[in-house]
């Protein structure tokens, strides 16, 4: 009875230590990760995006104009068929509208703009990997 009590508590202690280690590692991994936002226009797309999802600020207006002209040319309008036909465009319009709001909130002055950690902005670069290298170089020079 006594041995099983100690073995059970040792297993709990080991489990808690492993859980704490995983949580600590996860926290430091996330804390040291770079947050990257990229804002631009679709006529001049970003390259080497990696896992960064660029925000193109001009998609909403062009898609809205296309949908409006398509609807005006239809005789009988079926709402269900419109939803099915334009689902991807509606998503793009929503995302572009969100991007426009975020771009205003960040206060970017020109496009393209790549923002690191919601603090540092690199303007005029379409290659996200190149912008990452520039930012990392800046961090090393300034010991940040």
CB 108 within 8 A of CB 38: no
19 Cβ neighbours under 8 A, 6+ residues apart: none
Residue 11 burial (10 A CB sphere; 0-12, 13-18, 19+): exposed
For each of the chain's 144 residues, which pLDDT tens digit applies?
A: 555 555 555 556 555 556 555 555 444 434 445 799 999 998 999 999 999 999 998 877 767 778 888 778 777 777 788 778 888 888 888 888 899 999 999 999 999 999 999 999 999 999 999 999 999 999 999 875
The whole-number pLDDT of residue 29 equals 39
- Structure pTM? 0.65
What b-and-e string marks burial along 60-96, b requiring 16 or more CB atoms within 10 Å of the CB? bebbeeebeeeeeeeeeeeeeeeeeebeebeebbeeb
Report the DSSP pairing between strands 36-40 and 55-56. Answer: parallel
34 Cα distance to chain centroid: 11
């Amino acid at each position: 009875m006594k041995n099983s009590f100690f073995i059970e508590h040792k297993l709990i202690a080991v489990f808690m230590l492993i859980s704490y280690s995983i949580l600590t590692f996860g926290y430091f991994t996330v804390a040291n990760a770079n947050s990257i936002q990229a804002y631009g226009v679709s006529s001049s797309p970003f390259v080497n995006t990696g896992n960064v999802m660029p925000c193109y600020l001009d998609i909403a207006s062009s898609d809205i104009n296309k949908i409006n002209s398509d609807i005006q040319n239809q005789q009988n309008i079926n709402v269900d068929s419109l939803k099915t036909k334009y689902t991807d465009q509606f998503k793009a319009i929503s995302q572009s509208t969100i991007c426009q709001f975020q771009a205003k909130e960040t206060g970017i002055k020109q496009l393209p703009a790549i923002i690191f950690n919601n603090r540092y902005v690199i303007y005029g670069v379409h290659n996200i990997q190149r912008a990452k290298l520039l930012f990392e170089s800046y961090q090393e020079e300034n010991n940040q």
